[in-house]
Amino acid sequence: MSELSLTQLRKSFGETEIIKGINLDVSEGEFVVFVGPSGCGKSTLLRMIAGLEDVSDGEIQIGGKVVNDLAPVKRGIAMVFQSYALYPHMTVFENIAFPLRVERLPNDEVNERVDRAAKVLQLDARLEQRPGTLSGGQRQRVAIGRAIVRQPRIFLFDEPLSNLDAALRSEMRIELMELHKKLGSTMIYVTHDQVEAMTMADKIVVMNTGVIEQIGSPLELYHKPDNRFVAGFIGSPKMNFINGTCTAADGKKITIDLGELGNVVLERNSTAQVGQRVTIGIRPEHLALNEGDFILNLVPRIVEHLGIHAIVYADQPDGEVFTGMFEGDPAVKEGTPVKIGFNAIDTHLFDADGMAVY
């Protein structure tokens, strides 16, 4: 049985529809990440699940029960906010204990539950401090502690790491994943950072303009994106897209004319694209210098040497940027033409509507 299920969920603010019919099933214990560019509706969707936003149409079920009209506390969820939303006038202990105080639990139980949460989050030594004296990571943990003590069915995280600096962010990412293992609860996590999504999720939900573009495991999304949007969103640096025209297809092979860059032949059993404008996609990390099924002649404009790899930016004939990532310290100079090669097997093909062709 699914822990959370959304059916044809819609949300409008006045005339504008923000969430346009979302269907989603989340099973117990899953770590699900909603990812998408800002304004795609991912936070609104999370707030709808939390009960902070009304549902315009559709259904939210938690544990098999429709919760559309239930207050957040009755839904069995707990939420961690982007700004942590700690109460500055209360100690860490009272912050964590807040939900239990609301429930009017006896003092012994409050103490016991807060202590347990504090141990899990290594906050034991800080219980008497105020949030103002804590570092960003510690505040984050207090906010998580306040969610844990409620023992909710589902944890909701709204961009919890976006206020932290890069080093702390990767540290907290690992802590959150360990916490998920330890508690085994269902977690739904919203972020605009695809790295967070890729590293943490069991299941990624890629959203754009109020609809789900694709649902899948991180590697599914990486290797088999359903459309151009997902292909471009997942992966860093971004996938390269080269526009071309499909000139021939025989049910086994498909030929694409890339203009000045030459022809590419891919193995696809589709023939519907003949004569269409199509796009091929190739990830920067799948490129090699001077070798591969196809070779592109490009002039690097900027080269970034990062030690472990180098990132090369070049212009395609139509002005689009082409990015390459090569291991180590390759012999590439700005302004000197290079041969960049790639293999047919790594190449993605998208039809005129941006849908992937496999």
Partner 1 sequence: MSNKPMIDRYKWYEVVGIYAGIALFLFFVLAPFIEGFMVSLKPLSALFSSPYSFWPKNGSLTAYFTMWESVPGFWRYIANSMFISSVATIVVLILVVPAAYAFARFPFPGRGALLGAFLAVNMFSGAVLLIPLFRLMRSLGLLNTYFAMIVPGVAFLIPTAIWLLRTYMMRIPRELDEAAWVDGASRLYTLRRVILPIAMPGIIVVAITTFIGAYAQQFIFALTFNSKTEFMPLPIGLFAYFGRQEVVWNELMAASFVGITPVLILIVFLQRYLVAGLTAGAVKQ
Piece of 19-27, 98-106, 166-174, 249-257 that binds partner 1 (CB under 8 A): 98-106
* Of residues 134 and 278, the one with the C-beta less far from partner 1: 134
Q: Which of 61, 81, 195, 255 binds partner 1 (CB under 8 A)?
A: 81
The Cα–Cα gap between 100 and 96 comes to 8
Q: Which residues contact 178 (CB under 8 A, 6 or more apart)?
A: none
Q: Does 84 bind partner 1 (CB under 8 A)?
A: yes
Q: What is the CA radius of gyration of the chain?
A: 24
Query: 238: which DSSP letter?
Result: P
Residue list 37-66, contact with partner 1 (CB under 8 A): 50-52
Amino acid letter, 166: A
Q: Minimal distance in Å, beta carbon 177 to partner 1?
A: 23
The one-letter code for the residue type at 15 is E
Peptide bond into 337 cis (omega under 30): no
Determine which residue in the list 14, 16, 71, 167 makes contact with partner 1, applying CB under 8 A.
71
Which two tokens mark 230?
């997902």
If one asks whether residue 106 binds partner 1 (CB under 8 A), the answer comes out as no
Phi, psi of 215, deg, nearest 5: -120, 135
Q: Distance (Å, rounded) from C-alpha 215 to C-alpha 25?
A: 10
* Residue 72 lies near partner 1 (rule: CB under 8 A): yes
Of 242, 246, 320, nearest to 283 by C-alpha is 242
Identified binder of partner 1 from the candidate list 54, 66, 69, 102, rule CB under 8 A: 102
Instruction: Give residues 148-207 in contact with partner 1 (rule: CB under 8 A).
Output: 150
CB closer to partner 1 out of 71 and 345: 71
> Within 215-254, which residues bind partner 1 (CB under 8 A)?
none
Residues that bind partner 1 (CB under 8 A): 50-52, 71-73, 77-79, 81-89, 98-99, 101-103, 131-132, 139, 146, 150
